[in-house]
């Protein structure tokens, strides 16, 4: 552009019969709408800026163009999916986990580091996005990006996937108006309550990733899981989330399949580990 090379961008696509991700017109329009909402709310994310369709009719499939992450300037910054913190390096299987290496580099107590750098920021990010846009981020191990400097101290979280559910009732409650996306609108396209969907994304998706972190921190760093749960509950209570937005028990996918539904949610009856009702 103007004689200068364009900034590299990312591509998200559906390659028929090779990749299962369906990127049709509705899904593309949904993600562009969500990206616009999250950007306006200052949610840190990889922004979907435009899309394209190949073919016509029901068989058309497409792609998204996504901006690279806009991160704090640092010459030695690395960005990885959250699961890399508790996963194993296939090329160095005997190395310590990345989480252990970051804690050691930062020189901070492991429990404090995990709470202040990862767990609490994830909770605040999820709650801020929900209250500011009505969109429920799916912050699981793949959909949470962790950016950090070599010394382990400068950590930022980013969100990369805008194909998520929106609650029109919460948007109205928060004074948000305007048109809704063409897909994934709760009660219109999603036959489950908003609370059940919020529990799926918070207790289920995000909770599973934090469970993995807590298990590794307990085994390798001696961090008591209860301390992490208590800190998470405190953070949740300070986000401005209203108590009636999530149910008192965890909702997750059921084992049965139902014709016409992409998924089915059930009340597991389990109390949530990573949040707590106000006292």
- Report the C-alpha dihedral over residues 265, 269, 273, 276, rounded to 10 degrees: 100
- Return the domain boundaries, the chain: 72-267
Phi then psi for residue 57, to 5 deg, are 70, -155
Asked if the model's pLDDT at residue 159 lies above 70, the reply is: yes
State whether residue 252 is helix, strand or coil: strand
Reference 146, options 203, 97, 109; nearest CA is 97
81 band by pLDDT with thresholds 50, 70 and 90? very high
CATH topology of domain 72-267: Transferase(Phosphotransferase); domain 1 (1.10.510)
In terms of average pLDDT, the best of 73-82, 103-112, 252-261 is 103-112
278 band by pLDDT with thresholds 50, 70 and 90? very low
Structure confidence at residue 17 (pLDDT): 58
Structure confidence at residue 58 (pLDDT): 79
């Amino acid at each position: 552009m103007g004689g200068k090379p364009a900034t590299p961008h990312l591509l998200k696509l559906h390659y028929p019969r090779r990749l299962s991700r369906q990127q049709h017109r509705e899904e593309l329009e949904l993600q562009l709408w969500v990206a616009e909402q999250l950007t306006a709310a200052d949610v840190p994310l990889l922004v979907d800026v435009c899309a394209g369709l190949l073919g016509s009719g029901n068989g058309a499939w497409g792609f998204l163009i996504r901006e690279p992450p806009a991160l704090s300037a640092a010459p030695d910054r690395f960005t990885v999916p959250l699961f890399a913190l508790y996963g194993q390096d296939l090329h160095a299987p005997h190395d310590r986990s990345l989480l252990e290496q970051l804690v050691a580099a930062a020189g901070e107590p492991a429990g404090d580091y995990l709470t202040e750098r990862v767990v609490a920021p994830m909770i605040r990010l999820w709650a801020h996005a929900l209250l500011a846009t009505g969109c429920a981020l799916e912050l699981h191990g793949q959909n949470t990006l962790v950016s950090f400097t070599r010394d382990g101290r400068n950590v930022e979280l980013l969100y990369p996937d805008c194909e998520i559910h929106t609650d029109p009732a919460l948007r109205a409650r928060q004074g948000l108006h305007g048109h809704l996306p063409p897909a994934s609108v709760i009660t219109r396209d999603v036959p489950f309550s908003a609370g059940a969907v919020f529990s799926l994304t918070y207790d289920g998706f995000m909770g599973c990733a934090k469970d993995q972190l807590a298990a590794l921190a307990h085994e390798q760093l001696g961090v008591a899981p209860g301390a992490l749960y208590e800190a998470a509950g405190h953070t949740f209570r300070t986000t401005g989330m209203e108590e009636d937005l999530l149910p008192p028990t965890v909702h997750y996918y059921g084992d049965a399949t139902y014709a016409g539904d992409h998924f089915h949610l059930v009340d597991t009856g389990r109390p949530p580990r990573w949040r707590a009702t106000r006292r």
